[in-house]
Amino acid sequence: MGHHPRRRSLPRGQLIPVTVIGGYLGAGKTTLLNHILASTSERIAVLVNDFGEINIDAALIESATSSTMTLTNGCICCSLVDGLSAAFDAMLELDPAPDRIVIEASGVADPAGVSAFAHGPGLQLDATVVVVDSETIQATIDDAYVGDTVSSQLAAADIIVANKADLADVQLWLTGRYPTTLITPATNAVVAPELLFGHAPTPRAAASHEAADIFESWQITRDRPLPRAVIERYLHSLPDRVVRAKGIVWSSDRPDRQLIVHRVGRRVTVRVGPPWPGEESTSLALIGLLSTP
């Protein structure tokens, strides 16, 4: 309440990527968050949206120079003040600016409601990641109280992490229900940074990374403007094994502005960004699986 944010002007052309982690209680959201913190040297600002103790590894937070804030779910009907909005204001105030914002949504939050904020000024939604407990998800989704909630969470996912894959295999079941979503099995919520962040790992000293050799990446550059429709068609037509694509495009429709493009799984976002800080040019980075699993 009563926020008067001083707008710090963001570096031109730099939108802070936002990763939203959703999933029901006990699925492994916090484990995934700790894994993220351990496996990157990015400066990460963490927002935890839940009740109770937050089991983030404090040592990781400190060495990653991250900040954490907490907030809990609220309905604006009864508050008029939206906790998430205020939290984003505070995140945008951080100096130096974080390289990434990671939000752990509450166990009953709709991640779509959280990720909708990440279209705002200075922000770019990177991916909505929903974690499920492979052992219990099939029962939870039929639960009288929370089945519909969990269903909505999964429907909002760009990436579903089928956690505890060592205990149960629900890959087929998930693929049947969510055929267009990127689904990855995981144990102890270990997910390759290529999938999570759309780029190769920038490992911390102690972090190990074994999965890298299942991905390959491509760079595409052009120094001539392209029609926006062409780019959109191209992004939609990429094969499924391309798990991530992102970049900045020089479009002939809005040549004065950067066109920011983004694909996670099959979701494509195209957005007009800030003016060009220097030379106009198109550059795209693609990450794909070496072979379909």
Partner 1 sequence: MTRVFTARRIITMNPALPSGEAVAIRDGRILAVGTLEEVQGWDPEAPVDETFADKVLTPGFIEAHSHVMAGGMWTMPYVGFFDRRDPKGKVWPGCQSLETVIERLIEAEAEMGDDLTDPLVAWGLDPIYFDDERLLAPHLDRVSESRPILIFHASGHLATVNSAMLARHEIDADATTPGVDKDGDGNPTGELQEPPAMRLARSGMAKLGSRLGTEEAMWNYAAESRNAGHTLVTDLGTSQLTEPDQLERWSRVVNDPEYPCRAVVAMSSAFGGPSDPAVWAEFSKELPDHETDKLRFGIVKLMLDGSIQGFTARVSAPHYYRPPEGHPGNGLWLIAPDQFASILETYHRAGLTVHVHCNGDEATEVFLDAMEEVLTAYPRPDHRHTVQHCQLAKPHQYRRMAAMGMCANIFANHIFYWGDQHRDLTMGPERAAGMDACATALRAGVPTSIHSDAPVTPMGHLHTAWCAVNRVTASGEVLGPDERISVEEALAAITIGAAFQLKLDHDIGSIEAGKLADFAVLEEDPLTVDPMTLKDIGVWGTILGGVPFPAAS
Interacting residue ranges for Zn ion, rule: CB under 5 A: 78
Which residue number, 1 or 172, has a Cβ lying nearer to partner 1?
A: 1
Q: Which region among 30-38, 167-175, 218-226, 269-277 touches partner 1 (by CB under 8 A)? A: 269-277
Residues 87-146 that bind partner 1 (CB under 8 A): 88, 106-108, 110, 112-113, 116-117, 119-121, 145-146
φ, ψ dihedrals at 221, nearest 5°:
-130, 150
Q: Is 268 in the site for partner 1 (CB under 8 A)?
A: no
Which residue number, 78 or 144, has a Cβ lying nearer to Zn ion?
A: 78
* List of residues 6+ apart from 149 with CB closer than 8 A: 24, 108, 110
| Residue 116 near which of partner 1, Zn ion, none (CB within 5-8 Å, type-dependent) | partner 1
* List of residues 6+ apart from 91 with CB closer than 8 A: 16, 45, 47, 69, 98, 101
Q: Is 149 in the site for partner 1 (CB under 8 A)?
A: yes
Record the tokens describing residue 93, joined without a space. Answer: 């105030």
Find the angle CA(254)-CA(259)-CA(260) to the nearest 5 degrees.
165
Binding pattern to partner 1, positions 218-247, x when CB under 8 A? ------------------------------
Which residue number, 109 or 196, has a Cβ lying nearer to partner 1?
A: 109
* List of residues 6+ apart from 43 with CB closer than 8 A: 64, 65, 66, 96, 98, 99, 100
- Please select the residue that binds partner 1; options are 10, 56, 61, 86, rule is CB under 8 A: 86
Query: Are the C-beta atoms of residues 103 and 19 closer than 8 Å to each other?
Result: yes
| Residue 271 near which of Zn ion, partner 1, none (CB within 5-8 Å, type-dependent) | partner 1
Record the tokens describing residue 286, joined without a space. Answer: 């693609």
- Please select the residue that binds partner 1; options are 24, 197, 215, 250, rule is CB under 8 A: 24
| Residue 99 near which of partner 1, Zn ion, none (CB within 5-8 Å, type-dependent) | none
Q: How far apart are CA 80 and CA 86, in angstroms?
A: 12
Residues 155-214 that bind partner 1 (CB under 8 A): none
Write the single-letter amino acid at 146. Answer: V
- Interacting residues toward partner 1 by CB under 8 A: 1-5, 24-25, 48, 50-54, 70-86, 88, 106-108, 110, 112-113, 116-117, 119-121, 145-146, 148-149, 151-152, 269, 271-272
